């Protein structure tokens, strides 16, 4: 569908063009209308054109390995999208769906070449749109990648938590055992030998100190166990997410196998029909 030159005047990508340049471009670009709820293109489709929203709204989204839809952005009047796949002639990296009935200006590779030739500054608008989409994709990747349980817990740990971990680890070492044996042996020897009787038998002060030590050690060990439980909880969540992704990936592979099987059956039926037609002649 042809485009009126006046329609291009209010679009940011064409506002710097002169009247003659807009008229020339209007003669080669197309106007396209997408009904509400329908897809303009889906991820994986060949990319042969870019689009500029004249009216309505287009939702750009991708689907992650867990089968969840991730909305990258919503395009409104004047916004440009679809230029990446068109520039590198690769498949679409995202899907575009009309939230409401949307009117678009469609530019193919030859139209873009004409536009850039007439107005090189327009290439900066396309690069800016590409940069914005890349930044959003990077942000989504940083926030949606698999979490590391140890790193996530370390970000929340306090000084008391670090101290509890250190004490719990040290109290379970051979060094702690030897230090306690040396301390108790020296204490008992000093009081029994008469060198310095500050805590005679049955060593009441030593008993109280050992009891206090056991209380504090048990508290620090429990604190360390609580942190370990938090790590285990995060690991359980990660294992669940991985299992869900694996299940969805297997289901996706099953669908692909079924599609290939159905395609092969259709081709075999066509071959059989051609063979039957050849025998009939």
pLDDT above 90 for 197: no
pLDDT for position 102? 92
Share the mean pLDDT of the chain. Answer: 78
92 token code pair: 């679409």
User: How far is 76 from 55, CA to CA, in rounded Å?
Assistant: 7
pLDDT for position 195? 81
pLDDT for position 237? 76
Give Cβ neighbours of residue 221 (< 8 Å, ≥ 6 apart).
164, 167, 168, 171
Confidence of residue 203 (pLDDT cuts 50, 70, 90): confident
pLDDT above 60 for 9: yes
pLDDT for position 260? 82
Largest Cα–Cα distance in the chain?
A: 123
User: How far is 5 from 89, CA to CA, in rounded Å?
Assistant: 28
pLDDT above 80 for 219: yes
pLDDT for position 262? 83
- In the block, residue with structure tokens 């309505």: 56
The ranges assigned to domains in the chain are: 5-144, 149-280
Average the pLDDT over each of 6-20, 50-64, 258-272 and give the range with the smallest value.
Answer: 6-20
pLDDT above 80 for 129: no
pLDDT above 60 for 140: no
Tell me: the pLDDT tens digits for 178-191?
999 998 899 989 88
User: How far is 55 from 8, CA to CA, in rounded Å?
Assistant: 12
Angle of helix 204-280 relative to helix 159-171, nearest 10 degrees? 100
Residue bearing the bigger pLDDT, 137 or 204 = 204
pLDDT above 70 for 138: no
pLDDT for position 6? 76
**Three-state SS across the chain?**
CCCCHHHHCCCCCCCCCCHHHHHHHHCCCEEEEECCCCEEECCCCECCEEEEEEECCEEEEEECCCCCEEEEEEECCCCEECHHHHHHCCECCCEEEECCCEEEEEEEHHHHHHHHHHCCCHHHHHHHHHHHHHHHHHHHHHHHCCCCHHHHHHHHCCHHHHHHHHHHHHHCCHHHHHHHHHHHHHHHHHHHHCCCCCCCCCCHHHHHHHHHHHHHHHHHHHHHHHHHHHHHHHHHHHHHHHHHHHHHHHHHHHHHHHHHHHHHHHHHHHHHHHHHHHHHC
Average the pLDDT over each of 62-66, 111-115, 142-146 and give the range with the smallest value.
Answer: 142-146
pLDDT for position 271? 81
pLDDT for position 182? 93
pLDDT for position 128? 63
pLDDT for position 110? 76
Angle of helix 204-280 relative to helix 149-156, nearest 10 degrees? 140
pLDDT for position 46? 84
Q: Which CATH topology does 5-144 take?
A: Jelly Rolls (2.60.120)
Confidence of residue 68 (pLDDT cuts 50, 70, 90): low
């Amino acid at each position: 569908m042809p485009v009126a030159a006046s329609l291009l005047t209010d679009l940011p990508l064409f506002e710097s063009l002169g009247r003659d340049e807009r008229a020339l471009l209007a003669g080669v670009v197309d106007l396209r209308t997408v009904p509400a709820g329908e897809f303009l293109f889906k991820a994986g489709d060949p990319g042969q054109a870019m689009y500029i929203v004249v009216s309505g709204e287009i939702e750009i989204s991708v689907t992650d390995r867990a089968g969840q839809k991730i909305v990258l952005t919503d395009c409104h009047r004047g916004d440009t999208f679809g230029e990446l796949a068109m520039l590198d002639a690769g498949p679409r990296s995202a899907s575009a769906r009309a939230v409401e009935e949307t009117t678009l200006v469609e530019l193919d590779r030859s139209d873009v070449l004409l536009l850039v030739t007439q107005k090189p500054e327009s290439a900066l608008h396309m690069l800016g749109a590409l940069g914005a989409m890349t930044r959003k994709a990077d942000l989504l990747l940083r926030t949606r990648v698999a979490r590391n349980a140890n790193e996530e817990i370390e970000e929340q740990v306090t000084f008391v938590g670090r101290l509890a971990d250190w004490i719990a680890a040290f109290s379970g070492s051979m060094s702690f055992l030897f230090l306690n044996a040396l301390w108790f042996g020296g204490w008992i020897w000093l009081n029994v030998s008469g060198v310095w009787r500050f805590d005679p038998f049955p060593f009441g002060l030593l008993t109280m100190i050992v009891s206090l030590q056991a209380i504090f050690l048990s508290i620090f060990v429990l604190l360390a166990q609580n942190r370990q439980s938090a790590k285990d909880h995060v690991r359980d969540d990660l294992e669940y997410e991985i299992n869900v992704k694996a299940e969805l990936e297997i289901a996706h592979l099953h669908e692909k196998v079924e599609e290939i099987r159905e395609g092969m059956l259709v081709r075999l039926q066509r071959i059989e029909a051609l063979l039957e037609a050849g025998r009939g002649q």
